Structure 1
Amino acid sequence: MSFGSDDDPFEDVREESGQAMKRLFLEYGSDNKKAFATGVLASIFARVLDLVPMLMLGYAIDTILNQDGTFFGFLPASVQPATRQGELVVAAVVIAGAFLVGAGFHWLRNWGWNSFSQHIQHAVRTDTYDKMQRLNMDFFASKQTGEMMSILSNDVNRLERFLNDGMNSAFRLSVMVLAVAVVLFTINWKLAIITMLPVPVIAWFTYRFVKNIQPEYQDVRSSVGQMNSRLENNLGGIQVIKTSNTEDFEGERVEDVSQGYFDANWGAIRIRIRFFPALRIISGVGFVLTFFVGGYWAVFGGPFGLAGSLSIGDFVIFIQLSQQFIWPMAQFGQIINMYQRARASSERIFGLMDQPSRIVEDPNAQELDVEDGKVVYDDVTFGYDDEAIIEDVSFEVPGGDTLALVGPTGAGKSTVLKLLLRMYDPDEGDIRIDGQDIRNVTLPSLRQAVGYVSQDTFLFYGTVEDNIRYGTFDAEKEDIVEAAKAAEAHEFITNLPDGYDTMVGERGVKLSGGQRQRIDIARAILKDPDILILDEATSDVDTETEMLIQRSLDELTENRTTFSIAHRLSTIKDADQIVVLEDGRIVEHGSHEALLAEDGLYANLWGVQAGEIDELPEEFIERATERTSQVDVDDYDADDEETTPTQD
């Protein structure tokens, strides 16, 4: 299985200017200058102090052990050690001091880089999530959860690894290479040139490594996204997998995506495991050259016509520092590799942050002021990709009235009401609440005024009480209990192991569908909104529970503007108005009795639920078959194009 860069589900949201890493430092690094400066300065001092023991060893060999001159001749005579033993003690003290002070700078270095990277990681992740959750619903229709988690987790973590490990290593190795080069050229510039002969080869080899490894890592990134999406999908649908007895089938599918990740990752591993041993061989050649030429020079004099002398101590310094010079050069390949991966991640992150939103709040927007709760739809048309979902929808709901939306699946009922919440904005027409265009009011005030109970009930991981309080975080326990009682949820909650403190599990899996729905209704009751939307609010409860909830909803909706979507027409027959939608258009509008008298679509739908199938006109059955087939095609197209918002 191949996962090329074209399979990247976020290829369309990459930051295009090529300045993603620069932007990262400008926007987020400026707030962490102190940590960055600490990391840089501490890296310099720590690496310089790391050279002291090696230098002391070389000079000690020449001056103390070989008794060649005075080791501390640069010091005033009054403080110079009087004996060779004294010189050895002072040298040991200097080395110990270098280790001790160096350890302190190493701690500062690690603190600086870790603080710098962790603060940026935290800020980038929270900003990315905040931007993501404010994008339009159509964005989420085109992306899978696992793919979005890949940005929030993998890509942000990859940035942190580069900012900490990569930049830490880059400064550490740069200081080491520069400091070692200065020391070697100061001691013997001719031997230093011989020591550095492998450097051009290492540079070329590193360039080839980066060029070859980059496509492999693109495959790895894509395969990770594919694997995360498959695992997230399967874990979310574990009940369907079990009831369908498809564990073996899903096991094979997971094995396929895992094999894809294995193949992609192993391709990168093969390049890495060839690269680093080869670099070790090249650096070994440099070490052998330094050892042979330097050793011959120190013992027999300059080889190949090289003039001058080389002491045993200097030779020892060269032997030690040559490895400190050549191997760090090889490690730059890893740093460049980390940079390339971090750059790709930053492009995805900033590309996501720069995604335009179709829902733009007017800077001069006012708070929504609801008095009567009158809602007006005025010639509202909405679509996506030049395909209309609803067209010319107009109706007026006086404050306190209930309007029901009915119609076949795919008629656009849910879309009509999501427009009221500004999940989308109309392409034409406008929606007003008490005369205020909802595009001219603030989103928080609009959504605070509108309560929404969905057929797709979602509970967060936490307690029952947490889920009822969600969105009304300052609610008292007594209010939560009253809301639960109104939603006919109090009795089953008190029978749970820990009552209101019972953990409901991820997505509420420990509760039945009806129990989850009643908690969702209690949440809406606690919010006490001015306008209420019930989108199949009792679809997952039995008939008796529906009767009890309906009684509570009647109390809740009294004197409150209410919109209700229901396939069970018996639950909305007492609505003040019923709007019948078909193919995104209003085809009928009136009361239950008036619509039955029209003997149109509503009457036929009522006949279906009354069991009068044999009495339905053939034209209705043909249209139902046509609509169902069209919905199936639309669903397929939506999955294929991954752009069309859900319509119901």
Structure 2
Amino acid sequence: MKDFIKILLRFVPPYKKYLFLNIFFNILSTVLSLFSFALLIPILQILFKINEAHYEYMQLGSASFKDVFINNFYYYITLFIENHGGALTLMLLGALLVVMTFFKTFTSYLSSYFMIPIRSGVVRDIRNYVFSKVVSLPIGFFTTERKGDVMARMTGDVSEIENSIMSSLDMMFKNPIMIIVYLTTMFLVSWQLTLFVMVLLPISGYIMGKVGKKLKRNSVEAQQQWGTLMAQIEETLGGLRIIKAFNAERKIKDRFITANNKFFKLTNRISRRQALAHPMSEFLGTFTIAIVLWYGGSLILGGKSSIDAASFIYYLVIFYSIINPAKDFSKAAYAVQRGLASMERVDKILSAENPIKSPEHPVNKSSLDKKIEYRNVSFKYKTDWVIKDVSIEIPKGQTIALVGQSGSGKSTMADLLPRFYDVDKGGVFIDGVNIKDMTPLQLRSMMGNVNQEAILFNDTFFNNIAFGVEGATMERVIEAAKIANAHDFIIATENGYDTNIGDRGCRLSGGQRQRISIARAILKNPAILILDEATSALDTESERLVQEALENLMKNRTTIVIAHRLSTIKDANKIYVMHEGEIVEEGTHDELIALNRYYKRLVDMQKF
């Protein structure tokens, strides 16, 4: 319950107006239900001629308000019976019961009406918070988390929160009010009976609490297993070509079926325990009513009770009315336990620490005037150093290239500049300003990226090229596409720039996708350009067109090129050769060839 209250304090405050209205109408509905039940007493007394007492009208102040109200109510009923007969009085009381029930049900509806915006609003806010957090987290977070599990938390877990915690809000606010009001009335009717009942209730509450704790533990396990399933689906869809190429369909199916069967068993176990809530509470409630019926009946039959038979029936009606909210409350408690398990998993994302922080007083810098410097930079992902005490200098307007074997640290060096990761030792500087003293937003606005895999979105050519550029016009987009050698194949499509390119640009060839990403970088017009293996996955013809587009893009820009194809970086102002996180050679293409070491060996291997 403590965890549930924490969630409410976190997410419900923006909807406190609806919450107050919900509580108000819940109280009103409960009070009206008590009055409608109270009408049963005179109806029963008239039907069975139980009450033969004579009533005189009492003034306020002559006794307690309760005694005066009850006395005068019976006074008017007996007066009406004398003047109009018992049958008409019964009809009038029945009509009054119908009117009271109408107001009771209407106020009950209003309480639910004002709860709905809280339910749907809180779930919407959780989705927004989770998505915003996922977008803001650094790339390093997703190297340790599986994408499928993150997706499961954003979809399955948030839906579970909606279905369990939020759907239980009404019960959690309404039922305690009903239970408190009904118990208070039961004390007023007969405190001896109610004290007897209060001894029995904690026993049933303890039994239900034990089952609820077990349910939460199993729910965490089930949601983790759901994350595993989602991860397998995401991996399968992404690697379908390889799965088929290696005839691994059976292996993948078996792996999925095993995980799915485990999820099936866990959900069965949880659902069976949840299904136990209703029969258990009904049995315990009936058991308690039977004991109360025996105890209360014994007191009345023995003449030891302060209430008559009609009041005892009213007492039993109220007590029976407590069972439904208590039952719903126990079901809500089970559902909340299950939802809390999902909330724990969602919280792992919401509470994840973002190490890439903006400084309190950022330096306002939006242009590159002199140079970029890596000063004695060292970096590690976990334990092993990936970059070891590297220093390089990139003057404005020049192109430098990073080459070396796979795993030598080239891409990591490029990722440190836009602060996808922060350096562990040393620093990266732009015109003498440490990039940690700038906001990531301002820093990245100076840069454009073209990667080996062209990352495109399931949208039109126009929106993919204009991605991240505010107020881009069609003229500017067309101009960027022409420079990137993309205009001709775009206008050849059915709707030109309004043609949808499919999921990740699946309707385009590799070269076309790459030219679209180059057009996107051209439109952004960045001061600093990072090209990470931009041509390595292309055929010769596509490479020629893309290389031409890249040359157009690189004109008068400070550029960092990461390349395996050494033919593409022959004209770089300086080439840095990396090996196991260190720079082992630097110079122009001709100078490095003359050294006849690492670089020369790499060139010879590619020639071969």
Q: How does the TM-score come out when normalised to structure 2? A: 0.88
Question: Match of 1:382, SS?
Answer: strand
Question: Match of 1:100, SS?
Answer: helix
Identity of aligned residues (%): 31
Deviation at 1:542, TM superposition (A): 2.1
Q: Is the 8 A contact 1:375 1:397 kept in 2?
A: yes
C-alpha distance in structure 1 between counterparts of 2:336 and 2:20, whole Å = 20
From 144, 148, 151, the counterpart of 1:149 = 151
Partner of 1:42: 25
- Decide whether aligned partners of structure 1 residues 189 and 395 sit closer, same or farther in structure 2, where only a CA change above 3 A counts: closer
Q: Is the 8 A contact 1:199 1:326 kept in 2?
A: no
Partner of 2:386: 389
Correspondence 1:525-564 to 2 at 5 A: 525-564=522-561
**Residue 336, structure 1, aligned to residue 319, structure 2:** no
Partner of 1:521: 518
Deviation at 1:390, TM superposition (A): 1.1
2:101 aligned partner, one-letter code: F
C-alpha offsets along residues 253-284 of structure 1, whole Å, 9 cap, x if unaligned?
21111111111112223333445423322222
Partner of 1:473: 470
Aligned residues: 589
From 210, 232, 243, the counterpart of 1:241 = 243
C-alpha offsets along residues 575-610 of structure 1, whole Å, 9 cap, x if unaligned?
111111111111111111221222211111111221
Question: Match of 1:302, SS?
Answer: helix
Deviation at 1:340, TM superposition (A): 3.2
Q: Is the 8 A contact 1:197 1:286 kept in 2?
A: no
Deviation at 1:533, TM superposition (A): 0.6
Deviation at 1:104, TM superposition (A): 3.3
Correspondence 1:267-306 to 2 at 5 A: 267-290=269-292, 302-303=300-301, 306=304
C-alpha offsets along residues 294-326 of structure 1, whole Å, 9 cap, x if unaligned?
6x67xxx83467445633x44543453333223
1:137 aligned partner, one-letter code: I
Question: Match of 1:74, SS?
Answer: helix
Q: Is the 8 A contact 1:405 1:565 kept in 2?
A: yes
2:39 aligned partner, one-letter code: M
From 569, 574, 582, the counterpart of 1:572 = 569
Deviation at 1:158, TM superposition (A): 4.1
Partner of 2:118: 116
1:203 aligned partner, one-letter code: G
- Decide whether aligned partners of structure 1 residues 169 and 559 sit closer, same or farther in structure 2, where only a CA change above 3 A counts: same
- Decide whether aligned partners of structure 1 residues 303 and 236 sit closer, same or farther in structure 2, where only a CA change above 3 A counts: farther
C-alpha distance in structure 2 between counterparts of 1:96 and 1:497, whole Å = 67
C-alpha offsets along residues 10-60 of structure 1, whole Å, 9 cap, x if unaligned?
xxxxxxxx9765554444333222122112222221233234443323432
Question: Match of 2:243, SS?
Answer: helix
C-alpha offsets along residues 191-228 of structure 1, whole Å, 9 cap, x if unaligned?
55666665233123212212332322222122122222
Deviates more, 1:526-535 or 1:250-259: 250-259
1:217 aligned partner, one-letter code: S
Question: Match of 2:39, SS?
Answer: helix
Q: Is the 8 A contact 1:72 1:80 kept in 2?
A: no
C-alpha distance in structure 2 between counterparts of 1:41 and 1:219, whole Å = 39
Partner of 1:74: 73
Q: Is the 8 A contact 2:397 2:559 kept in 1?
A: yes
Q: Is the 8 A contact 1:375 1:434 kept in 2?
A: yes
- Decide whether aligned partners of structure 1 residues 503 and 349 sit closer, same or farther in structure 2, where only a CA change above 3 A counts: same
C-alpha distance in structure 2 between counterparts of 1:401 and 1:470, whole Å = 26
C-alpha distance in structure 2 between counterparts of 1:367 and 1:192, whole Å = 71
- Decide whether aligned partners of structure 1 residues 486 and 103 sit closer, same or farther in structure 2, where only a CA change above 3 A counts: farther
Question: Match of 1:133, SS?
Answer: helix
Question: Match of 2:12, SS?
Answer: helix
C-alpha distance in structure 2 between counterparts of 1:395 and 1:284, whole Å = 81
C-alpha distance in structure 2 between counterparts of 1:439 and 1:152, whole Å = 31
C-alpha distance in structure 2 between counterparts of 1:325 and 1:521, whole Å = 69
Question: Match of 2:356, SS?
Answer: coil
Gaps of 5+ in 1: 1-17, 612-648
Deviates more, 1:418-427 or 1:337-346: 337-346
Q: How does the TM-score come out when normalised to structure 1? A: 0.83
Question: Match of 2:501, SS?
Answer: coil
C-alpha offsets along residues 455-507 of structure 1, whole Å, 9 cap, x if unaligned?
13222232222222111132011211222222222232233343322333333
2:250 aligned partner, one-letter code: D
- Decide whether aligned partners of structure 1 residues 211 and 31 sit closer, same or farther in structure 2, where only a CA change above 3 A counts: closer
C-alpha distance in structure 1 between counterparts of 2:586 and 2:334, whole Å = 64
- Decide whether aligned partners of structure 1 residues 508 and 28 sit closer, same or farther in structure 2, where only a CA change above 3 A counts: same
Q: Is the 8 A contact 1:73 1:80 kept in 2?
A: no
Correspondence 1:288-327 to 2 at 5 A: 288-290=290-292, 302-303=300-301, 306-307=304-305, 310-311=308-309, 313-327=310-324
Correspondence 1:325-474 to 2 at 5 A: 325-372=322-369, 374-474=371-471
Q: CA RMSD in A?
A: 3.0
Partner of 1:614: none
Question: Match of 2:420, SS?
Answer: coil
C-alpha offsets along residues 73-127 of structure 1, whole Å, 9 cap, x if unaligned?
5289699755245434433443333233234322332233222233333333323
From 252, 257, 264, the counterpart of 2:266 = 264
Deviation at 1:451, TM superposition (A): 0.4
- Decide whether aligned partners of structure 1 residues 316 and 492 sit closer, same or farther in structure 2, where only a CA change above 3 A counts: farther
Q: Is the 8 A contact 2:578 2:585 kept in 1?
A: yes
Partner of 1:506: 503
Question: Match of 2:470, SS?
Answer: coil
C-alpha distance in structure 1 between counterparts of 2:233 and 2:302, whole Å = 66
C-alpha distance in structure 2 between counterparts of 1:136 and 1:465, whole Å = 28
Question: Match of 1:404, SS?
Answer: strand
From 468, 473, 493, the counterpart of 2:490 = 493
Partner of 1:55: 38
Deviates more, 1:415-424 or 1:201-210: 201-210
2:256 aligned partner, one-letter code: V
Question: Match of 1:453, SS?
Answer: strand
Gaps of 5+ in 2: 56-69
Which structure ranks higher in relative contact order (CA pairs < 8 Å, sequence separation ≥ 6)?
1
- Decide whether aligned partners of structure 1 residues 75 and 292 sit closer, same or farther in structure 2, where only a CA change above 3 A counts: closer
Question: Match of 2:463, SS?
Answer: helix
C-alpha distance in structure 2 between counterparts of 1:243 and 1:491, whole Å = 34
Question: Match of 1:132, SS?
Answer: helix
- Decide whether aligned partners of structure 1 residues 24 and 206 sit closer, same or farther in structure 2, where only a CA change above 3 A counts: closer
C-alpha distance in structure 2 between counterparts of 1:179 and 1:248, whole Å = 62
Q: Is the 8 A contact 1:454 1:535 kept in 2?
A: yes
Deviates more, 1:114-123 or 1:409-418: 114-123
2:374 aligned partner, one-letter code: Y
2:353 aligned partner, one-letter code: P
- Decide whether aligned partners of structure 1 residues 433 and 200 sit closer, same or farther in structure 2, where only a CA change above 3 A counts: closer
Deviates more, 1:151-160 or 1:601-610: 151-160
Correspondence 1:595-606 to 2 at 5 A: 595-606=592-603
